[in-house]
Structure formats: structure tokens, C-alpha cells
Structure 1
Amino acid sequence: MGKQLKQSSRKATIVPFIQNGEYFFKKGMKAYDRGDLHKARKYFERAVRLDERDASFALQLALVLSELGEYQFSNQWLFKIIHDLDETMDDCLYFLANNFACLGLFREARQYAEQYLANEPDGEFADDAADLLELLRLDGSEWTEEEEQLMVLEDRARRLLEEERFAEAIEALEAIVVRYPDVWAAHNNLALAYFYSGDVDKAKQKVREVLKRDPGNLHALCNALVFAYYLHDQEQVSSLCRTLAGLYPFFHEHQYKLGATFALVGRFDLAFRWLHRLYKSGFRGDGPFYYWLACTAYHTGHESLARNMWEEFLVFHPEKRGEEPWAVPSFDEAFARIIRWIEQEGLADQLYGLYLFSRSKQAEETAMSLAICRLLPADPRLRPFIDSFLFGLTDGSSARAGNVGRMVDALSANNEEKEALCRFAFAIAVHPLADGERFANGAAWAAAIEYMWRRQQGERVTQREMAAKYGVSASTVQKYVQKARRLYT
């Protein structure tokens, strides 16, 4: 009889392999000690993602970013430590001074070096901070101060633009371009500020001005493409895409701009070419870089890369978890109803959907208004209503559209049968024979249109009743009923 194994009396112990923040931090330190900064960065980013409140993890990531030459991203983490994680970590002040010096922002560099010495006169980096201050004094020529002041002004304007404080951004950028007329970045940012504030004409004029004075300016061409895309000018979009697809920019900044612009307008094939090339070359950008790379990778069939890049994006914006490009968006029912009207084939239905959106809370978000533009067909009859309802334009044909909107406001405010009645009003407003009508007397038009609509429904209403309802005279209602009948055949 052969030997048999006896069942062990000891139970097996399963030791879980937990990859927490400390685990990746230690691996990052080993990579850092070996001089492998790119791998160290990866590990430290994983560490801060797993433990967002550990200041030491964030500090080590900031130091690696600085050594990689990514001073602005390093500063973001240093400021996060000081303001959110541990305000007592005064060493961050010295590291900020170093980063600002490398960026050429010498005033800020002096400010943080002096603040570090005030807080830590005998600190570990006291001698280094003193040496840095001496070096800054030697290099502080008048020309450098002027350049530095420009950088500070541009940085403030960019922050205002990113925070969607468009009126303040426009004021700041207009001052810059007057003082520094050849700084094209300020002109291009001013065009964006005009556009997102709703001043489409000024935005387009600014782009034309830049391209006239600096033909081939990449940022101006990209802005022109974005404007054309949001304004649903498909012919211009196609033309600019062909132009930009033939460009091969040398600088990383220009490659990033080109890739992000192609992604924004839905040309994911062209976008992936540039963004993925940047990533493979070792470029490690900010949150938006990973966002666009994740989107373009997903839409070009590189799903594994897309998921990895989305995880990188979440390091910068953890609150965006659940908003992946492959996630199904959720809309409230009211907004979904607006979209259904906009996607109808009838012009009156599309206008009703556009009207409903313009009166909704979503219309307060510029990005949402621009997205609605993309859903609407390229029908020139819609253009004045888009300009008026979404961008607040009040000149030319936009003024007439504004009058129609106020007329529909009156109908909507005075009736429960809003849907059918308002669509009926839009059908009259866009009738070919209505081109000469300004619809300036909104109350009179509302009274006449409601009278006609109710009579068609078989209701027994009088023009006198409509006159009393809208605060106009019976003779005025009679006059406008005749006008409206001419437009409804």
C-alpha cells in the first residue's frame, strides 16, 4: 500500500497583497535613487492617487516634476501642499522659488525665497535660498523685469479665462495687446474670451487680425477651426481641417494645441496621431492632456490605452470618476425633451427646442450652448435665432429673432398649452412671407397668434378677449390677425 499524504492540521494563511500609497511611494523612491525619473513619476502619481492627503507623497512628486523640467505642474502640487495638505511644510516655499526662477518669473522667485528665509532662517535650504536671492539680484536687469511683468499679466489673464470670468479676462487681455501688440498669445486668448462671452463677431475679427499680421499662426488657425465647428460652418471646418492636417509643428506646445483642437472638433484620427506621439516621446502634460488622449484613444479603438490615460486624468481631477468617454451620459428628463425637439426635422420644432434650451439653466453654461449648436442642422434660417437665443446678439437679423423670442415668452407665460401654441408661433415667424415682419409688438402678435390657434382648435374665443388678455386694443388685435393669416397658409 502506497504512502498517503496526511492532511495538515495547520490551516493555510492567505496574506493579501495590498498595493496602497505607501507601496507605490517606496517603489518610486527606488526608481528615483536609480535616476529613473519617468518611472519614479509614475509610481509617485499612483501613490498620490491612492492617498490624496499624504503631503510627503505629493512633495516627492513635485520634486520629480521639477527635475523633469515641468515646473508649472510641480508648482501645482506645491501649492496644493501649502493650501490643502500641510501649511507648515515651509520647504515648499524654497522649491517654489526655484521653479519660478527656472520659469523666468524672478519676482515670484524672490518672493518665495524671502518668505522661506523669514519662516526658516536656519532651515535646511537657508544657504541655498540666500544664494538664489543673490543670483536673482545680479540678473535683475530692466529688460528682464519687463518680460517678467508680461508673464505675470498673461498668467493672470489665462487664469481668468480658465475660471470662465470672461469679462475680467477680456479687460486684462485688451490691456496686454495694447501694451504688447506683438504678443500673439494674448491676441489668441482674447479671441477665445470674446467667443465664450458670446461676442462671436469680435472673436472672428480678432482671429482674422492675427492671421493678417502673422500668417500661419497655429493658435489662430486652431481657434478659427473651433469657432467654425461650434457655429456649425461645415465648409469652413473641412477647409481648416485640411489645412491643419498638413502642418507638422516642431514644438511640443504646438503639437499639443493641434491634437487637442482636432479632438475638440471630433477628428479623433488626426488628434490621436499628435497626442499619442507626444505621449510616446515622454511628454507628460496636465489634466486636459490626459483627458483628450483618453478620448482620442477610445474613439480610435485603443481602449486599453484610453482606460490607462483616464486613470492619469483622475490624478488631477478625481471628481470626474464616472464621466469616462465610454460612459453613458445621464440627462434629466427636461433636458432630454429639449434634445428630442432639436433633433426633429421640422424647423418650427427645432426652434422650439432651441427656445426651451435658451430659457433653461443649462444655457448659463457656455460650453452647453456651444454643444447645442453642433446638434442643429446647417440651416441659414436658424442662424439669427442661434445668435440671439444662445449668444445674445442684438443686431441685424438677430434683433428680429429676439423679438420673436419675446413674443413666444408672452404666449408661454399666459397659456398652459405651451408646446403646440409656441410651435405654431415659430411656424408663422419663419414663413417665407414673414421676412419683412419685425415682430416688434410682441403682445399684439401673441394675441393674434393665440386667437388664430384657438379658433383652429374649434374654441369660441373673441379678439376682444385676446386684447384684454395681452393688454392691447381690440383694433390692434384685428390688425395683427390679418397679418398672421397672411403668414399661415
Structure 2
Amino acid sequence: MKKQEAKWRNQSRKVVRLRMDAGFFFERAVRSLDKQNYPKALKYFRLAVEKEPDNPINHCNLAGILSEMGRFDESNEVLETVLNEIDPELHECYFYMANNAANMDDFELAEEYLVTYLEKDPDGEFAEEAEEMLQMLAYELGRPPRRPERVDRPEWFVKHDTARKHLEEGRFVLATQLLEELVEAYPDFLAARNNLALAYYYTGQFQRAVDTIHQVLETDRGNLHALCNLAVLYQHLGRESERDRLVGMLKKLVPTHVEHLYKLATTLGILGEHEAAYKAFHRLLLMESQPEPSLYHYLAAASMNTGRWRKAQKYWSIAAEMDPDSPVPRYYLGLLKKWRLDQRELPLISYHYQLPFHEQAKSSKDQTNPVPEQFRVNPLVRSSFYWALQHGDEETKQQILHLLSWMADEEVEQILRQFLLSPDHDDELKKTALMILYQIGAKGPYRVRMGGAEHVISAEQLAKQASEIQVWRQVLECCFGHMKGRYPEALLQDAQILWTAFLTQKQKELPTVRKVEGWAAALEYVIAKLHGQGRTQTEVAEKYGVSPSTVGRHARQMEQTCALSRHFKEISTRSTE
């Protein structure tokens, strides 16, 4: 008897308890929707509501399936329950109710709901669709559309919205300033803290980013945005065990709010968890009534990254049809044909709905500008520039400073002013940054920490130096004027790189420029020589109206100065490929 009892106990340990929470029933409901089994999906959504009656998203899912089944009155009853008893701030319920009313041909009630929605959330997720729907209803009712009364938004809301736009446009310093002010004034404003952590991350302040996220999690342990951001940070910092622990948590989550699911799906993609990302994006496709073309790109990228070739082709084809002006789907569809013939290991596809950086640079019309317009407004590119300015070697920092001089906006000015006051940077680099500030029109005086002390430099003091530097700019412009149309565009880019490297190496003792054409001719000669173009010093000298000896003298100085430069070696290597 004891043996049998022991055997039974041992077997009982293998029994797995079935998880029967709201997430379980939501998953079952989604699977039923996949199979277009609406009655079963309705049953599971009702069970999810019973398990978590205080969760408004469960009620919204229930209202959604009722609407899909044509039971519009019942759907609106559920949505009214959400607004009256659970979450009065879930304003999108008014938009859903308007759609239900319109489907019942009650256009005046639909109009009322839409006006209420726009008054309560003028910048809400469905604001644009609500405006369009008001126009349609006005046509049906035979009168001008009703306009919502605009309510002034609170100052903190406006400031946070501005900060978010700065983040999206890559203006991280400006975003940081606003978000720090918000967090200080409203310590419990967790959305501002999460965005502040992102701003710190984008500007290379990783420890401050981690500390800020932990402040969020101390208040809200399950804050999805904070958990996602922390996982990405841990991966960047190489803290693998902490990263893996968080990834394990994230993969178990089943968000029912569209915004949260987007955050989770994109984060899983960034973390390289492509199978989990694919499932999350697929779930989003089921939840979105009007999916954006970008969602189909995300699904295509996840499909490729998990070996689902046909799915990738399908989703990129849909994106191309929906967004014919975007080059992104067509670019990847073209690559898909090549990849099918290529047996080598395929690259991972980025989840960003944009062309890869090298393609953006290739398509830039202004090849003489080292920072194409697409890069200027790209937050990822800006972030990489700022990170390199903080953590790169001296030569890299010099290159980044010159690139920032081409971008020349308010954000760049703030970055340079901070750079001048940091004790972590070389004095020679700060001299370059000072001159760039002056050249981009930043108002003086300029505060700079050099030689262990803080100094104030006037604009007048920089004016003399600026006139000398202007001459060196004229050299490059003269060279471009003679080379353009006679050489491939890639050689003009190399001329820019080589000239910047030369000035960087000679910044302590820049030679006097007696004639711009002499140095411009030498620059063209060196570039042509590196690329095997076969130009003699005499040929180049005649074109610029200078003597061959001048070209030879300047060319030798340029080659000797740049011989050890990383950029000189890179140009030499490319020219022999």
C-alpha cells in the first residue's frame, strides 16, 4: 500500500495546473477570431471580463466583438459601463460608440459622441478619423458639420507633448530639458519619467537612464514601458543575465491595449526575440480595425527574421499597395527576389519603417553634403552622433564635430555648449567646437572650460579666426566646382573626408592660404591619384590656373599629414577594391 501511495504522489507532481486567468481567455478569444468563430470569441471575452471586471480593456474587447457581430446596442451598453463605472478617462469609448451609432443609422447620436470625444481628447489616437467622420455625418444630415469646443489643455500636457515631439525628431537635449522640468514639478508623472529615461539613453547617459527607469518601477512595478526600456538598456550595456530575466517576463505578457502591445512587439524585435515579436505583431493586426502600412512592414520584418518568406512577401506587398509613395516595401520586395537566389546567411531586417541608412545616403541628391536631409531628421542617426561625441576617440570626435556643423540647428547648439563646459574633452576639440558655434550663428559670448578653468570668449575674438577658416571652406568649394560632373559622386565625398582629415591634423599650425586654387588643385590631384584616375600635376595645374610645382608641394604636404589618418587608409582601401 505504501509503495502504491508513493507512486501516486510521485506521478501527481507531473500534473500541470492550467492557468485560467483573463490572459488565458483573451488568448483563446484571439484564436477563435483567427478562425472567424465569433460566438466562441464572444464567450471567451465575457469570461475575461468576469476574471478582471475592473480592467476596462477587457470590456472594450467585449464591446468590439459585439460590434463585429452587429449587436451595436449591446456594444454601446458595455462601453457606457466603462465610462460610467470603470474608467471615465478612457475617451476612445466615445469614438467606438459613435461608430456603433452610425452603423444603426442614428447619425445625430453618432455626431454627439464624436463631438464629445474631440472635446475631451482633441489629440487622441482617433482624432483624425473622428474629424473625417464628422464631415461624412454632416453630408448625411444635410447641414454643416458640428465643431467641438476646444478646451485649453493644461500646461503640463502641452509641455509633455512638445517633449515627445522633440524625442521623435531627435532633439534629445531640448526634450531632456523639458522632461526634467516636468519630473521635478510632477514627481508622479510616470510617462514623463519614461520619456526622460529614453532621452538619457539616446544621449549616451546610460546610468542616468537606468536610475530613472528604476524610479518608475519603484512606483509601478509592472509598468510596461519601463520594463521594455530597461531590457533594451541591459542589452546595450551587456548585462545579459538581467536582460534575459526581463525578456522572460516580457514574453509572458499579453497586453490588451493597442499602444502597450505596439511597445512590447517593437521591444521584442529590438531584443532579437523575433518569434515572440512576430506573434505580438500578428496579434496587433487582429486588434487594429484599420492597420497602418508600417504594421505590415513590422510583420514582414518579423516574418523574414523567423524564416517565413512567403509571409514576408505577402505583408510587404500589402504595404506597397497601401502606401505607394513609400520606397520601403518596394525596396525589400526587390531584395527578396535576390535573397531567394542567394544561399548565404541573410541579414536581419530592421523593424524601422524606413530605408536602411546606406540606401538613404545613396538616394541623397546633395552628395557634397556629408549629412543628407534624411539623416538630419533621423533620431537614430542623431543619437549615434551624440554617443560618438561623448565616447569616441579623439579623431572620431573631430569628425562628429564637423558633421554637426552641417546640421546646424538649435539642438546642435545646445550639444556644443554642453560640450564646451564638460571637463572630459580635450582643449583642442573645444577650440573646434567654439569655431563651429560661431559659424552656425550661435550668439556669444561663449563659456568654455579650458586649461582647468572656465573662460568667456567673445564673438569678436572668434571673428578673426573665422575669416581664416572661411578661406579653407573656399578651398573645398573650389575643388567641388572643378570636380563635379567630371568624377563619380563617391570621389567628391572622399575629397570632403580627406580635406576634413587634413584640417583636423593641421589645426595647431594651419598653413597660410595665398591662393585658394592651389590647395583645391592639390586636393583633386591626391583624390584622383588615390583612385587611379591618372591625372598629372601639370593637367590639374592648368585647369586651376596654378603652377605644377604649387600642386606638387601642397599635395606632398597633404599626403604626409594624412598618411596615418584612419580616413586616408579607408579611402586608399576602397579605391583598390
Q: TM class by shorter-chain length?
A: 0.5 to 0.7
Counterpart of 1:38 (choices 10, 18, 23) is 23
Give me the whole-angstrom Cα distance separating, in 2, the residues matched to 1:54 and 1:386. Answer: 57
Does 2:199 correspond to 1:227?
yes
* Cα distance in 1 for residues equivalent to 2:183 and 2:480: 42
Partner of 1:155: 124
Residue in 2 aligned with 1:366? 378
The answer to whether residue 173 in structure 2 is matched with residue 201 in structure 1 is yes
Would the aligned equivalents of 1:191 and 1:206 in 2 still touch at CA under 8 Å? yes
* 199, 210, 214: which one aligns with 1:241: 210
Corresponding residue of 2:397: 380
1:9 counterpart residue number: none
Deviation at 1:194, TM superposition (A): 0.9
TM-score, normalising length: structure 2: 0.47
Which amino acid letter does the alignment assign opposite residue 372 of structure 2? R
- In structure 1, C-alpha distance between the alignment counterparts of 2:254 and 2:42, rounded to whole Å: 21
Kindly indicate whether the alpha-carbon contact (under 8 Å) linking 2:166 and 2:175 is maintained by their aligned counterparts in 1: yes
Q: Summarize deviations over 1:314-358 as a string: whole Å, max 9, x none.
A: 211473155277774159xx968789xxxxxxxxxxxxx9976x4
Give the conservation status (yes or no) of the 8 Å contact 1:61–1:74: no
Instruction: Summarize deviations over 1:111-143 as a string: whole Å, max 9, x none.
Output: 765775675499xxxxxx9xxx9xx9xxxxxxx
- Name the CA distance, whole Å, in 2 between partners of 1:110 and 1:158: 11
In the TM superposition, residue 425 of structure 1 has moved relative to its aligned partner by 2.6
Partner of residue 103, structure 1: 87
Name the CA shift for 1:77/1:463 in 2 (closer, same or farther; >3 Å): farther
- Are 2:183 and 2:192, in contact at CA under 8 Å, matched by a contact in 1? yes
Structure 2 residue identity aligned to 1:152: D
What is the aligned partner in structure 2 of residue 262 from structure 1? Answer: 230
Aligned residue for 1:381, secondary structure, equals helix
TM-superposed deviation, 1:206:
1.1
| Change beyond 3 A, Cα 1:446–1:415 | farther
Q: TM-score, normalised by structure 1?
A: 0.54
C-alpha distance in 2 between matches for 1:64 and 1:409: 71
CA contact (8 A) 2:250 2:264 kept: no
d(CA) in 1 for partners of 2:58, 2:486: 55
Q: Tell me how far apart the structure 1 counterparts of residues 66 and 247 of structure 2 sit (CA, whole Å).
A: 30
The answer as to whether partners of 1:44 and 1:57 remain within 8 angstroms in 2 is: yes
Structure 1 residues 272 and 149: alpha-carbon distance in aligned structure 2, compared to 1, 3 A threshold: farther
Amino acid at match of 2:401: P
Matches within 5 A, 1:311-390: 311-317=279-285, 319=296, 320-323=299-302, 328-330=347-349, 358-359=371-372, 363=375, 366=378, 368-369=380-381, 372-373=384-385, 378=392, 379-385=396-402, 387=404
How many Å separate the matches in 2 of 1:387 and 1:119? 54
- SS of residue paired to 1:201: helix
Structure 1: gaps spanning 5 or more residues: 1-30, 123-128, 137-144, 161-174, 340-352, 468-473
Q: State the Cα deviation string for residues 121-177 of structure 1 (Å, max 9, x = none).
A: 99xxxxxx9xxx9xx9xxxxxxxx9xx8785145359999xxxxxxxxxxxxxx99x
Asked if the contact 1:259–1:270 (Cα under 8 Å) also holds between the matched residues in 2, the reply is: no
CA contact (8 A) 1:421 1:450 kept: yes
- 1:359-387 CA deviation, whole Å, 9 max, x = no partner? 386x4873553575499562432443454
Question: Aligned residue for 2:262?
Answer: 288
The superposition leaves residues 283-337 of structure 1 with CA deviations (integer Å, 9 ceiling, x where unpaired) of 65542354267458x76xxx8xx74564244211473155277774159xx9687
Structure 2: segments with no counterpart, 5+ residues:
1-17, 130-149, 286-294, 308-346, 361-366, 417-432, 442-469, 562-577
Question: In structure 2, how many angstroms separate the alpha carbons of the residues matched to 1:322 and 1:370?
Answer: 24
Measured after TM superposition, the shift of residue 262 of structure 1 is 1.6
Identify if the C-alpha distance between structure 1 residues 204 and 106 changes in structure 2 by more than 3 Å, giving closer, same or farther.
closer
- Offset of 1:256 from its aligned partner? 1.4
CA contact (8 A) 1:198 1:391 kept: no
Alpha-carbon distance in 2 for matches of 1:120, 1:451: 77
SS at match of 2:398: coil
- Say whether residues 1:431 and 2:508 are aligned partners: no
> Any idea what SS the aligned residue of 2:155 has?
coil
Aligned counterpart for 2:182 among listed residues 210, 213, 233: 210
Mean CA deviation greater in 242-251 or 204-213? 242-251
Q: Distance in 1 between matches of 2:382 and 2:252?
A: 32
| Cα 1:242/1:355, change in 2 over 3 Å | farther
Corresponding residue for residue 461 of structure 1:
539
Amino-acid identity (%): 12
| Deviation, structure 1 residue 445 | 7.8
Q: Which amino acid aligns with 2:539?
A: V
Shift of 1:415: 2.3
> Aligned partners of 1:108, 1:418: CA distance in 2, in Å?
53
- In the TM superposition, what whole-angstrom CA distance separates every residue of 1:89-119 from its partner, at most 9, and x where no partner exists? 6754554454455431587656765775675
Q: 1:57 and 1:189, CA in 2 relative to 1: closer, same or farther beyond 3 A?
A: farther
> 1:412 & 1:226 partners in 2: Cα distance?
42
What is the root-mean-square deviation of aligned Cα atoms in Å?
A: 6.0
CA deviation profile, 1:250-288 (whole Å, cap 9, x unmatched): 4366x2121121233354654565575577688655423
Q: Secondary structure at the match of 2:487?
A: coil
Secondary structure of 1:450 counterpart: helix
Q: 1:55 to 1:420 in 2, by over 3 A?
A: same
Measured against aligned partners, the alpha-carbon deviations of 1:159-204 in whole angstroms (never above 9, x if no partner) come to: 99xxxxxxxxxxxxxx99x841344xx5344223113224333222
Q: Is the 8 A contact 2:72 2:103 kept in 1?
A: no
CA–CA distance in structure 1, aligned partners of residues 98 and 47 of structure 2: 23
Tell me, in whole angstroms, the C-alpha distance in 2 between the residues paired with 1:382 and 1:486.
17
After the TM superposition, which of the residue ranges 413-422 and 271-280 deviates more from structure 2? 271-280
Residue aligned with 1:415, SS: coil
Q: Does 1:415 align with 2:487?
A: yes
**1:343 aligns to what?**
none
Question: What is the Cα deviation at residue 87 of structure 1?
Answer: 8.3
Assess if the C-alpha contact under 8 Å between 1:94 and 1:116 holds in 2.
no
Cα separation, 2, equivalents of 1:209 and 1:187: 9
Q: Which amino acid aligns with 1:45?
A: V
